[in-house]
Amino acid sequence: MPDLKYHRILLKLGGEALAGEGGFGIKPERASGLAQVIKGVVGLGVQMAIVIGSGNIWRGKDGAALGMDRARADHIGMLATVMNTLALQDALDHAGVESRAQTAIEMRAVAEPYIRGRAIRHLEKGRVVIFGAGIGNPYFTTDTAGALRAKEINAEILIKATKVDAIYTADPQTHPDALKFESLTYMEALNLRVGVMDVTAISLCMENHLPICVVDLWEPASIEKVVRGEKIGTMVY
């Protein structure tokens, strides 16, 4: 559509987007609300792929900190992202949004294996594609998976939708005087060690000239504003 700045996007979500009370588990009502947000963006004619984390179920680093083998802990996290992927896909089905789930670790009984060409074809047909299981390897976060998949499918922007509306000099929930950034260069984001996205993901975006926009997932029409090119959140480029 002519009023869109971005026509193909990668939406990176934390597992908390589906969480119930206390940030844990999968709450069907939250999944339904998220599906409506996605439906509104897709309705504009945007091709959307999604990578979702597993923080509402499991964090590999937490397991490793308690003595678990890091690779095994990360594999548990990958499986948890597939649970979130299927929950989101079900919510999209109920919302009338056609979607496909692909996983980096093959589990054909529940999802397609990740195949780049097939993912792009789904997007061209107007289907939302949800990528589960990260990149299939331990020691990499789902932020990095989002950056990698975004480049593989030729997305024009990576949108990191979180519970805060931008990048700040400190956590605004604990530091009310934190300053908000309207934009940052990749190097500034790396030097500031912004907590909203890991260093590997930002570096990958920098090397491949992929812009990042950080917005509040639940702010009304926040993602729609990004795809229209309106000023919102923090742009990293």
**Residue 48, phi then psi, degrees to nearest 5:** -125, 130
Domains of the chain, earliest start first: 8-236 (3.40.1160.10)
Per the model's pLDDT, the better-predicted residue between 63 and 15 turns out to be 15
In this prediction, residue 64 carries a pLDDT of 85
pLDDT above 90: residue 23: no
Residue 87 to residue 175: CA distance in whole angstroms = 34
Query: What pLDDT shows up at residue 144?
Result: 97
Cβ burial of 229 (10 Å; 0-12, 13-18, 19+) is exposed
Question: Which pLDDT score is estimated for 193?
Answer: 87
Encode pLDDT of 110-156 as tens digits.
Answer: 999 999 999 999 999 999 999 999 999 999 999 999 999 999 999 99
CA distance 77 to 70: 11
Q: Where are the beta strands (DSSP E) in 104-211?
A: 112-113, 128-132, 157-162, 167-168, 180-181, 183-184
162-196: per-residue pLDDT in tens?
999 999 998 888 888 999 999 999 999 999 988 88
Q: Tokens in use for 52?
A: 């979702």
The candidate with the shortest Cα–Cα distance to 83, out of 130, 21, 33, is 130
Average pLDDT, the chain: 95
Average pLDDT score over residue span 83-98 = 98
CA–CA gap between residue 88 and residue 143 (Å, rounded): 18
Q: Is the pLDDT of residue 226 over 60?
A: yes
The pLDDT-based confidence of 206 (bands split at 50, 70, 90) is very high
Q: CA-CA distance, 142 to 145, in Å (whole number)? A: 5
Query: Is 151 buried (19+), middle (13-18) or exposed (0-12) by CB count in 10 A?
Result: middle
pLDDT band at 65 (very low <50, low <70, confident <90, very high): confident
Who wins on pLDDT, 63 or 126?
126
Return the pLDDT at 158. 98
Predicted pLDDT of residue 1: 54
The answer to whether residue 203 scores a pLDDT higher than 80 is: yes
Q: Could you tell me the two tokens for 103?
A: 């996983």
Mean pLDDT over 13-27 rounds to: 92
Q: What are phi and psi of 61, to 5 degrees?
A: -65, -35
Contact indicator for 153, 209 with CB cutoff of 8 Å: no
CB 123 within 8 A of CB 152: no
Residue matched to tokens 């990668």: 10
Question: What confidence category does residue 2 fall into, taking pLDDT thresholds of 50, 70 and 90?
Answer: low
> What three-state secondary structure class fits 166?
coil
Residue identified by tokens 């500031």 is: 192
CA distances from 172 to 188, 215, 236 (A): 19, 14, 19
**Which strand (E) or helix (H) includes residue 13?**
strand 8-13
